[in-house]
């Protein structure tokens, strides 16, 4: 054990500790600040009180916005997962000229189409369609933005399902719907589960599109409402924000744990080709 | 139970390749039939066309008295075992075996009964709740066979049924497969590139090349009297000696050649290869290499000169131009 080795080792642990603190402090804040009598932006041992929780539940829009978030994400996630699964299966199995180019173009354009660059056209289009202040309309736009990437990722999973599985089912008399439901989707299930969680998390944290398309405060999801939580004096409302942040983060964690346990993000064994 | 009738069948791929080329074939009821050939000869395509997984470009496929040429695979009453077995990894072995019944909407209790009964018949009892990934190669193959049997089809199609097994297991599975087919008396067509497998299993063999049948016959006919030099070369575990003599090519199997005072070929021993019970001896006869098989402990020394001969009935003559059997 040379002195140089010791120094390097100590330096390494110090670095790890700094990185750890960087990630741990927000977590600890999220655990302590909601129940602190005098919540601040710093981290300290709390004077326990339920007052902040009561204040958050009394806030006129806090719980509504969380419900709005759930509805918005449920629609966007369902639309993304179902359409992406069907489209990815079709694109994986049907040979059309320029298929790969099409996929890459979709992927490339998707980040442009629903990004900042397209804010004005999207707003105008939704205004003319009468879909401003519509959860459903907003969910569709969010889903539209996620679909290309979802299709792109799921197509790889679909490609990995051996054709002999489908052909085997067909020889036994399975209809195309049965082939999809009995064989392809279950085998590609880890991929579908991954897309499901990815879509939900993306939609849950999406700020720009709901902010743009849901002008009525009563319609806004949590990600947008968080920005408006000020007290009368115009500074951040630290009674509501910590509790609200905690509530806001729970669904994503629960969803991740549930899907990971139920379906697993890993690949199903037994595939040889 | 039904035979298969194939008339003028062609299967052309979109890229223009004629994988099966105006082919006629009758597979008899209850027969164990082999489609044998090198890779790319169209044997798997022919099997897939019978199953309905490839569309026939010309000609007709009949099963029993029914013309199935335009029927989808599910309506043909065929069962197929794929080379990779295609067992569904997310279902248990029992669910896999009963899958053909599930597609037809058979009640769950009946499905379970069938799965148990079929599995017992194929030595899979006690494995019904496992996943395919937890089975050995031989068990996976039997599970795939059980699923095909449970479909109670009229025709069983097997794509390279033994190729995914290791050598020792392959022999065991071969015997098992033949016994099963005899018990079921089910018309069975299997595809193989392994001539030993085809000779051992089949009642009749169709040797295929370039989408056509080169020879159709019993294993004995195909082995003893190959119809042309292609078949002669392809059949047999040691390649047949094919020696040009004037306008003909003389063909003799190494197994039929024995040392003699005078005979067909004389040459200098160049290589001796041990095959276990026998050895393969290679003679240098001018431009030609002649192989012949000797029993163990009878190997000649390398460098000695040996003359070999064969019974007249075992010496075949092929036309040099066409490669066809003359006599």
pLDDT, tens only, A41-97: 888 888 888 888 888 888 888 889 999 999 999 999 999 999 999 999 998 988 788
Nearest CA in chain A to B87: A165
Q: Do B86 and A173 touch (CB under 8 A)?
A: no
Residues 60-79 of B with CB under 8 A from A: 72-76, 78-79
Tell me the per-residue pLDDT of A11-39, one tens digit each, with 9 for 90 and over.
999 999 999 999 999 899 988 888 888 88
> Over 90: is that where the pLDDT of A262 sits?
no
CA distance A199 to chain B (A): 25
Beta carbon pairs, A and B, within 8 Å: 74
List of chain A residues whose C-beta atoms are within 8 Å of the C-beta of residue B83: 164
CA distance B246 to B321: 11
Cβ contact, residue pair B74, A269, below 8 Å: no
For residue A269, pLDDT over 50 is answered with no
Place of tokens 């040797």: B207
CA B243 to CA B308: how far, in whole Å?
14
Contact check, Cβ <8 Å, A167/B73: yes
pLDDT of residue A267: 44
- Are the CB atoms for B80 and B159 separated by under 8 Å? yes
pLDDT at B279: 92
In angstroms, the CA B136 to CA B85 distance is 12
Neighboring chain A residues of B131 at a CB cutoff of 8 Å:
269-270
- Interval B28-57: pLDDT, tens: 999 999 999 999 899 999 999 999 999 999
The answer to whether residue B281 scores a pLDDT higher than 50 is: yes
**A270/B87 touch (CB, cutoff 8 Å), yes or no:** yes
Judged against a pLDDT cut of 70, whether residue B284 lies above it is answered with yes
Q: What is the mean pLDDT of residues B208-226?
A: 93
pLDDT of B232 above 70 = yes
Q: How far is CA B125 from the centre of its chain?
A: 29
ipTM of the predicted structure?
0.86
Please answer yes or no on whether B84 and A273 come within 8 Å at the CB atom: yes
Residue B126 sits at the chain A interface (C-beta within 8 Å): no
Contact at CB, B103 and A273, closer than 8 angstroms: no
CB contact under 8 A, A172 and B82: no
Question: Please, how many CA atoms are within 13 Å of residue B192, restricted to the half-sphere of its CB?
Answer: 25
Tokens 């397209």, residue located:
A118
Q: Which sign, positive or negative, has the C-alpha torsion B296, B230, B80, A161? A: positive
Question: Residue A270 above 60 pLDDT?
Answer: no
């Amino acid at each position: 054990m040379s002195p140089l080795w010791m120094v390097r080792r100590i330096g390494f642990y110090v670095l790890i500790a700094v990185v750890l603190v960087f990630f741990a402090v927000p977590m600890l804040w999220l655990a302590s600040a909601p129940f602190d009598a005098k919540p601040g932006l710093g981290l300290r041992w709390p004077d326990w009180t339920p007052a902040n929780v009561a204040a958050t539940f009394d806030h006129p829009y806090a719980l509504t916005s969380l419900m709005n978030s759930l509805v918005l994400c449920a629609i966007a996630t369902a639309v993304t997962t179902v359409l992406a699964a069907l489209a990815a299966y079709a694109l994986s199995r049907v040979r059309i000229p320029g298929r790969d180019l099409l996929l890459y173009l979709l992927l490339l354009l998707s980040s442009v189409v629903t990004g900042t660059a397209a804010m004005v056209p999207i707003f105008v289009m939704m205004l003319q369609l009468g879909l401003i202040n519509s959860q459903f309309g907003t969910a569709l736009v969010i889903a539209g933005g996620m679909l290309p990437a979802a299709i792109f990722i799921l197509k790889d999973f679909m490609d990995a399902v051996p054709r002999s599985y489908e052909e085997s089912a067909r020889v036994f008399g399975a209809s195309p719907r049965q082939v999809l439901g009995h064989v392809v989707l279950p085998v590609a299930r880890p991929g579908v589960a991954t897309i499901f969680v990815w879509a939900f998390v993306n939609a849950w944290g999406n700020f720009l599109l709901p902010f743009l398309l849901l002008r009525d405060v009563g319609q806004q999801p949590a990600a947008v409402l968080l920005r408006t939580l000020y007290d009368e004096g115009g500074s951040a409302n630290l009674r509501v924000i910590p509790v609200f942040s905690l509530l806001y983060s729970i669904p994503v964690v629960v969803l991740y744990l549930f899907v990971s346990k139920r379906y697993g993000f890993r690949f199903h064994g037994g595939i040889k080709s | 139970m039904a035979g298969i009738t194939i008339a003028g069948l062609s299967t052309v791929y979109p890229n223009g390749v004629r994988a099966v080329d105006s082919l006629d074939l009758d597979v008899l009821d209850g027969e164990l039939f082999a489609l044998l050939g090198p890779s790319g000869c169209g044997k798997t395509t022919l099997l897939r066309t019978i199953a309905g997984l490839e569309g026939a470009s010309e000609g007709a496929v009949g099963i029993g008295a029914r013309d199935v040429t335009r029927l989808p695979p599910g309506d043909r009453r065929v069962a197929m075992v794929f080379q990779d077995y295609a067992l569904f990894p997310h279902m248990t072995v029992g669910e896999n075996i009963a899958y053909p019944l599930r597609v037809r909407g058979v009640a769950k209790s009946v499905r379970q009964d069938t799965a148990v009964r079929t599995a017992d018949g194929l030595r899979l009892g006690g494995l019904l709740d496992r996943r395919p990934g937890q089975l050995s190669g031989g068990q996976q193959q039997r599970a795939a066979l059980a699923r095909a049997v449970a479909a109670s089809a009229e025709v069983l199609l097997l794509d390279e049924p033994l190729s995914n097994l290791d050598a020792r297991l392959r022999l065991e599975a071969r015997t098992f497969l033949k016994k099963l087919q005899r018990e079921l008396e089910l018309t069975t067509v299997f595809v193989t590139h392994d001539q030993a497998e085809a000779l051992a299993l089949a009642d009749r063999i169709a040797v295929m090349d370039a989408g056509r049948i080169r020879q159709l016959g019993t294993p004995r006919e195909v082995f003893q009297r190959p119809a042309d030099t292609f078949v002669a070369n392809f059949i047999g575990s040691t390649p047949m000696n094919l020696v040009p003599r004037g306008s003909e090519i003389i063909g003799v199997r190494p197994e039929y050649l024995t040392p003699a005072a005078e005979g067909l070929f004389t040459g200098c021993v160049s290589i001796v290869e041990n095959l276990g019970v026998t050895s393969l001896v290679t003679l240098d006869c001018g431009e030609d290499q002649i192989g012949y098989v000797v029993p163990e402990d009878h190997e000649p020394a390398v460098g000695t000169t040996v003359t070999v001969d064969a019974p007249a009935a075992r010496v075949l003559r092929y036309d040099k131009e066409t490669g066809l059997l003359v006599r």
